[in-house]
Structure 1
Amino acid sequence: MKTFDHLNVIGLREWIGLPGLGIDQVMAKVDSGAKTSALHASDIVTFERDGQPWVRFNAHIGSRNKQRKQYCEAQLVDFKRVKSSNGQLQERHVIRTPLVLGDRCWWVDFTLTCRKAMRYRVLLGCTAMLDGQLVINPGLRFVQDKPQTSLFIEG
């Protein structure tokens, strides 16, 4: 039997940080069926900074019962056509930002979309898991410690 010694184990739900967006902690649903990660965002506006496309938006990082928003700006890296969970094709803005999970940090692409009907405001897709060398134990939740985003320098 093969082992996964070089991979980090995560559960179906984990606390992550997005320090490039000013988000210290947000609960994420791990979804190996989704290729790209997604962030619940509203009021999305594109603009130009230093000749490059950027986007500003409100990231919704609280729960449905305890709503919280974080104003964010990030460089726009792409637009992507995504089939949503209800089967509809959507054109979404794509940003790239550092993600902190446990004691690790790496760059992850997120699509910006409305997830207000969803229980979790952040979805962690399989590309982020591959890049982070993660393996999922579906019987576990919150395997990793809450992120310490202050340990990682934005950049």
Structure 2
Amino acid sequence: MKPLTTIGWREWASLPEWDIEIRAKADTGARSSAVDCSSIEELPDNRVRFTMRLSRKTNLNMTLEAPIAMRKHVRSSTGHGRDRLFVETTLRLGGREKKILISLTCRKRMIHRMLLGREALSGDFVVDSSVDHWATPRKRKKSK
């Protein structure tokens, strides 16, 4: 069994199947993972089209389609429950890759576009909540 990979409370996560790199917050209090989406549209043949908001500071969005992996009632941190669609993709973080389920939801009021919950973290990662970006270096702003 591989030793656990230490990550910080937030990291740059890659979703290689979608060619996306996104800042994600590790949240061991959340069971499932979530990504910030708008325009979630169910399609025929158990598929979904959704637009991921990739940045809070810019209008960088990406529209994707994926098979619906699961439908589940999820209670948010505020205690409100909603039915959500989940899709499956590969997470690449800290030298590891694993398949994870991600719920599609509106997180536009949240600071981080992606939340990594216990189901995605368990068995592979341990979170050092005192550290920001342990496994992935911070992106440096380009100087003029």
Same fold (TM over 0.5): yes
Q: How far did residue 145 of structure 1 move?
A: 2.7
The number of equivalent residue pairs is 136
Aligned position for 2:8: 11
TM-score for both structures, normalised by structure 2 = 0.89
1:27-51 Cα deviation digits (max 9, x unpaired): 0011000000000011111113xxx
The structure 1 residue matched to 2:19, chosen from 17, 22, 35, is 22
1:41-82 Cα distance to aligned partner (Å, 9 max, x none): 11111113xxx411111001112x223101111110111101
Partner of 2:140: none
Q: Which structure 2 residues correspond to residues 6-85 of structure 1 after superposition, within 5 A?
A: 6-23=3-20, 25-48=21-44, 52-63=45-56, 65-85=57-77
Asked if residue 98 in structure 1 is aligned to residue 94 in structure 2, the reply is no
Deviations 1:108-144 (A, max 9, x none): 000000001111110000110014x110111111111
Letter in 1 for 2:72: K
Cα-Cα RMSD: 1.4
Aligned to 1:145: 136
Q: Name the aligned partner's letter for residue 57 of structure 1.
A: F
Distance in 2 between residues matched to 1:109 and 1:137, nearest whole Å: 22
Q: Work out the CA distance in 1 between the residues paired with 2:94 and 2:61.
A: 23
Q: Percent identity?
A: 34
Secondary structure at the counterpart of residue 128 of structure 1: helix
Give every structure 1 segment of 4 or more consecutive aligned residues whose post-TM-superposition deviation is greater than 4 Å.
Answer: none
Instruction: Return the alpha-carbon distance in structure 1 between the equivalents of residues 136 and 130 of structure 2.
Output: 17
For the residues of structure 2 that align with 1:102 and 1:41, how far apart are their CA atoms? 25
Equivalents in 1 of 2:59, 2:88: separation in Å?
Answer: 24
5+ residue gaps, structure 1, are: 147-155
Q: Is the 8 A contact 1:20 1:98 kept in 2?
A: yes
